[in-house]
Amino acid sequence: MRSLYLAVTEIARNKLRFVVVFLIVALITILVLFTAALGDGLAQSTSEYLDGLDASLLAFQSDVNYQIPASRLGRSRLNAIRRVPGVLAVGPIGVSSATIIAVDGVACKELSAALIGVEPRAPGSPPVLRGDPLANSRAADAVVDQHIVERLGLPIGATITLKVVQGMEEQHYNLRVVGATSGSKINFTPAIFVPLQRWDRIRPQEQVGGSGNEIIFNIVAVQLDGSVPSATVADEVMVQVAHVEMTDPVTAYKATQGYQDMQSTLSLQQGFVLVIVVLIIGSFFQIQTLQKVAQIGMLKAIGASSWTVVGALLFQIMLTLLVGLSVGLAAVWLLAQALPTGIPLVFSGGKIAVAIASILAAGPLAAMLAVRTILKIEPLRALGLSA
Amino acid sequence: MSALEARAVSKLYRAHDVEVLAVDALTLSVEAGEFVALIGPSGSGKTTMLALLAGLLLPDSGEVVIEGRSLNSLGKAGLAAFRLKQIGFTFQAHNLVPYLTVRENVELMLRLNGRLDRQGRARATELLTQLGLERRLNNLPSELSGGQQQRVAIARALVHEPSIVLADEPTASLDSERAHQVTAILAQLIHAQGRAGIMVTHDPRMCIYADRIVRLEDGRVTRVLTTREEIALFAQTG
Ligand SMILES: Nc1ncnc2c1ncn2[C@@H]1O[C@H](COP(=O)(O)OP(=O)(O)OP(=O)(O)O)[C@@H](O)[C@H]1O
Ligand SMILES: [Mg+2]
């Protein structure tokens, strides 16, 4: 308590000096939390659809490293997967992109979207928030992500016009919006879901109007009945069905081009920021300690233990971090309220806890240099002597 | 039993192959209520002696015994605890914690001792009043003169009721009037409270307040003055 007393009194009587460090910690907190939120936000934007999929396994063409655009599967393999024991249902998924250019025949601001072909009622088919799910496998119906609905102010029942390049030509297709869904982002873009047959006709391709014989899609969502462990089903599929590789949705989106690079860049950045915290706090308190050498020598000479002085230092560092963190958290909260929608920032409790814990953990690290200095100060110097 | 006894203590400094026998088999004892002035030329070992008496240095031979206990047997932590309880210290400079007020600086000694109670606070205020600082209680050290700072240090050196009070050149940075003031009150409090006091000084005039003058040369006691007449004469003529 002597330590706490010394720590708090010194801060109280040197407010300006400490306010500066509080602010530095607050700003660093904001930076760390935003980086974490950006990481989660970007992750969500690339993985939202796969992450929320109603399927435990995904089938890819083998040797494509789980890259969706590179994977090509057809009906025969879909059916073969369906027959593997433990499989409850399968759903084909085709992913491409399109641009919305008009609503109800009136040109709108062009908006790019993922165009996802699914089989109505099969795994992969999106749940709807409003309106109806896809039902007719041939209809020119679409279930559209809420982000698009909001951006374009789309009513259910509206007709949207897509622009797609097929062969050398730009083609326009009309779709009727039957329902709205959410959480469908893939590759940073929200999706438009259409029945697979329709998708095959309107997706960008070399010839106008579809592939003809067999519809080629990209991946298969596999639902299990739970009778067989998922790893066993995956192995069995790979044995029974040629050129198919099975994985779970999380592994799949983590393999998405750039996902790991992006996440590791952000982690690296956070790591650097934490190193900066350690260095700033460490040097601030080291400089303070060096300025107090005479005072500390005197305290030791009158009988204060080194631990009293070290304790005061640790209290000051922890208080600095706590105050800075609180201010930073409050600022982040306020900023988060004020953020416009559509910015890929996701504040998750877990990441915030980790960020706070790592900033606090920076304290003892930052203290090390100054602690060493304190321990080395001889009480003798109060008398102007050295040993 | 004396409050403080140095028994044939020696301290040898070694630096760059040069050995300096700073204190040479020095024997000294001080009674409770006695105020001793330690004088001598520069380099004669006065400060080293003070450090030995406080347990800040351990002697190469001999021992310092305080209240019947030899400091040689205490470890580093034991010595710190001993200083905290038994010793009141004033230094030439950097006596006070700059961010604590006058009152807080004095009370710090009680806090460190875990004795900051109502009586302790009252004693702190009383001491500061006796030292003429009753209107400076809430000032920071930077707002005080050098003499006032020394007086705060004296209050701190006495507030925890130590058996020994050690003062290293308390008047070095003061003008003669303030020096007299500070030394007189130090002597008076040491007498009144029955502490064993030792003051290192370069200023013979300050010896007038001492009960005994011990002169060191090359780490040895070369002269001891004990009678009022001798002391008064020394204080006048140096
Ligand atoms: N760390 C050290 N290493 C080597 N020699 C030292 C050391 N400290 C002090 N000395 C020497 O020991 C002797 C006694 O020093 P001390 O400081 O005790 O003298 P002093 O009587 O207090 O002198 P002053 O009146 O100048 O303060 C001196 O010769 C000094 O040079
Ligand atoms: Mg000296």
pLDDT tens digits, residue range B211-229? 999 999 999 999 999 999 9
Q: What is the pLDDT of residue A82?
A: 93
Q: What is the pLDDT of residue A30?
A: 92
Q: What is the pLDDT of residue A37?
A: 86
* Alpha carbon of B46 to ligand 1 centroid (Å): 8
The whole-chain average pLDDT of chain A stands at 89
- A14–B80 C-beta distance less than 8 A: no
Q: Whose CA is nearest to atom 16 of ligand 1?
A: B45
B94/A contact by beta carbon, under 8 A: yes
CATH number of the domain that residue B128 is part of: 3.40.50.300
- CA dist list (Å): A225 to A82, A185, A233, A305: 11, 27, 10, 68
A302 contacts in chain B (CB < 8 Å):
83-84, 87, 89, 109, 112, 156
Q: Which amino acid is at A215?
A: I
- Confidence check: pLDDT of A155 > 80: yes
- The number of the ligand 1 atom at minimal distance from the alpha carbon of A383 is 17
Give the nearest chain B residue to A378 (CA atoms): B56
Domain that holds residue B232: 30-58+75-237
**C-alpha Rg value of chain A to the nearest Å:** 30
Q: What is the pLDDT of residue B37?
A: 97
* Alpha carbon of A308 to ligand 2 centroid (Å): 28
Residue B119, judged by CB atoms within 10 A of its CB (0-12, 13-18, 19+), counts as exposed
Residue B116, in any domain of the structure: yes
Give the nearest chain B residue to A379 (CA atoms): B56
Question: Residues 121..180 of B with a Cβ closer than 8 Å to A: which?
Answer: 140, 156, 168
Cβ-nearest to B112 among A2, A10, A384: A2
- A294–B94 C-beta distance less than 8 A: yes
pLDDT > 70 fraction of chain B, expressed in percent and rounded: 100
A14/B contact by beta carbon, under 8 A: yes
* Alpha carbon of B163 to ligand 1 centroid (Å): 26
Nearest one of B100, B91, B87 to B160, comparing CA atoms: B87
- Confidence check: pLDDT of A185 > 90: no
Q: What is the pLDDT of residue B172?
A: 85
Q: What is the pLDDT of residue A355?
A: 86
- Confidence check: pLDDT of B29 > 80: yes
**SS3 assignment for A108-172:** EEEEEEEEEEECCCCCCCCCCCEECCCCCCCCCEEEEEHHHHHHHCCCCCCEEEEEEEECCEEEE
Q: Is A170 or A344 the better-scoring residue by pLDDT?
A: A170
Angle between the B146-158 and B176-193 helix axes, to the nearest 10 degrees? 10
Name the strands in the sheet holding B61-66, side by side, starting at the edge strand that comes first in the sequence: B18-30, B4-15, B61-66, B69-70
Q: What is the pLDDT of residue A208?
A: 66
Tens of pLDDT, residue by residue over B131-160, are: 899 999 999 999 999 889 999 999 999 999
- A383–B47 C-beta distance less than 8 A: yes
Q: What confidence tier does A211 reach under pLDDT thresholds 50, 70, 90?
A: low
Q: What is the pLDDT of residue A282?
A: 93
Cβ-nearest to B47 among A2, A9, A385: A385
- CA dist list (Å): B47 to A141, A385, B133: 97, 8, 28
Cβ–Cβ < 8 Å for A29, A274 = no
* 3-class state of residue B26 by DSSP: strand
Residue A117, judged by CB atoms within 10 A of its CB (0-12, 13-18, 19+), counts as buried
Domain-by-domain residue ranges, chain A?
2-47+259-382, 57-247
- Average pLDDT score over residue span A47-75: 89
Nearest one of B203, B144, B199 to B179, comparing CA atoms: B203
| Selected residue of A10, A376, A383, A385 to mutate for chain B interface (largest B Cβ count, 10 A) | A383
The total domain count for chain B is 1
Is there an atom of ligand 1 within 6 Å of B44 CB? Answer: yes
pLDDT > 90 fraction of chain A, expressed in percent and rounded: 57
Output the DSSP codes for A162-226.
EEEEETTEEEEEEEEEEEEE-S--BTTB-EEEEEHHHHHHHS--SSTT--SSSPPBSEEEEEE-S
pTM for this model (two decimals):
0.81
- Confidence check: pLDDT of A342 > 70: no
- Average pLDDT score over residue span A182-196: 89
- Average pLDDT score over residue span A342-353: 80
Give the nearest chain A residue to B170 (CA atoms): A383
Residue B144, in any domain of the structure: yes
- Confidence check: pLDDT of A240 > 70: yes
Nearest one of A181, A220, A216 to A82, comparing CA atoms: A220
Q: What is the pLDDT of residue A269?
A: 86
- Average pLDDT score over residue span B164-183: 90
Cα distance between residue B111 and residue B109, in whole Å: 5
Residue B69, in any domain of the structure: no
- Average pLDDT score over residue span A3-24: 94
Q: What is the pLDDT of residue A210?
A: 59
- The number of the ligand 1 atom at minimal distance from the alpha carbon of B23 is 14
Residue B19, in any domain of the structure: no
Closest ligand to residue B167's CA? 2
A135/B contact by beta carbon, under 8 A: no
Is there an atom of ligand 1 within 6 Å of B15 CB? Answer: yes
Tens of pLDDT, residue by residue over A95-113, are: 999 999 999 989 888 999 9
pLDDT > 70 fraction of chain A, expressed in percent and rounded: 98
- Confidence check: pLDDT of A212 > 70: no
- Average pLDDT score over residue span A288-315: 94
- Confidence check: pLDDT of A348 > 90: no
- Average pLDDT score over residue span A337-347: 77
A16/B contact by beta carbon, under 8 A: no
- CA dist list (Å): B48 to A33, B37, B82, B211, B236: 56, 15, 18, 22, 27
Question: Residues 276..335 of A with a Cβ closer than 8 Å to B: which?
Answer: 294-295, 297-305, 308
- The number of the ligand 1 atom at minimal distance from the alpha carbon of B202 is 25
Residue B1, in any domain of the structure: no
- Average pLDDT score over residue span B34-60: 95
| Selected residue of B23, B86, B96, B97 to mutate for chain A interface (largest A Cβ count, 10 A) | B97
* 3-class state of residue B1 by DSSP: coil
**Which residues on adjacent β-strands are paired with residue B10?**
B61
What region, left, alpha or beta, does residue B135 occupy, with left being phi > 0 and alpha being psi -120 to 50 degrees? alpha
- Confidence check: pLDDT of B238 > 80: no
- A385–B51 C-beta distance less than 8 A: yes
ipTM > 0.90 (yes/no): yes
- A2–B111 C-beta distance less than 8 A: yes
Q: What is the pLDDT of residue B67?
A: 85
- Confidence check: pLDDT of B64 > 80: yes
- Confidence check: pLDDT of B208 > 70: yes
- Confidence check: pLDDT of A239 > 80: yes
- The number of the ligand 1 atom at minimal distance from the alpha carbon of B45 is 18
